[in-house]
């Protein structure tokens, strides 16, 4: 499963889904128990929440660097250097604030 967002919140998953499929990976469109990996970068809070509620053994929660390294090597690489720290991801949501700036030209 892939949940990758830009800093502005736009979905940027398609690039990584394409790379994974080129490597013959099966990519699912909804997170679930059949996933072996969750690829996540600045994704939705619901993805992290769902991930934390999964039973052990959980899928790998990896960053986009893992996908890029797999593509570079043209094979699955060890996930240990690319794991996302779930606790740090949860903290991000506790501090993320969206600010609306009034339009002075309107």
In a domain, 34, yes or no: yes
Cα distance between residue 15 and residue 97, in whole Å:
27
**Residue 98 has what pLDDT?**
37
Phi, psi of 15 (to 5 degrees): -60, -45
> Residue 24 is part of a domain; what is its CATH number?
3.40.50.10190
What are the DSSP E strand ranges found in 1-106? 2-4, 37-41, 60-62
In a domain, 101, yes or no: no
**Residue 86 has what pLDDT?**
87
**Total domain count, the chain:** 1
Parent domain of 11? 2-94
Each residue of 13-68: pLDDT tens digit? 999 999 999 999 999 999 888 999 999 999 998 999 999 999 999 999 999 999 99
In a domain, 106, yes or no: no
């Amino acid at each position: 499963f892939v949940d990758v967002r830009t800093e502005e919140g736009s979905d940027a998953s398609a690039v990584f889904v394409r790379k994974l499929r080129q490597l013959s990976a099966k990519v699912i469109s909804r997170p679930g128990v059949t996933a072996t990996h969750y690829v996540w970068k600045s994704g939705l809070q619901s993805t992290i929440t769902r991930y934390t509620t999964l039973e052990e053994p959980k899928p790998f929660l990896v960053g986009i660097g893992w996908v890029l390294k797999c593509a570079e090597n043209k094979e699955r690489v060890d996930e240990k250097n690319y794991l996302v720290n779930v606790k740090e991801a949860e903290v991000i949501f506790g501090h993320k604030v969206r600010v609306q700036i009034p339009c002075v030209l309107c």
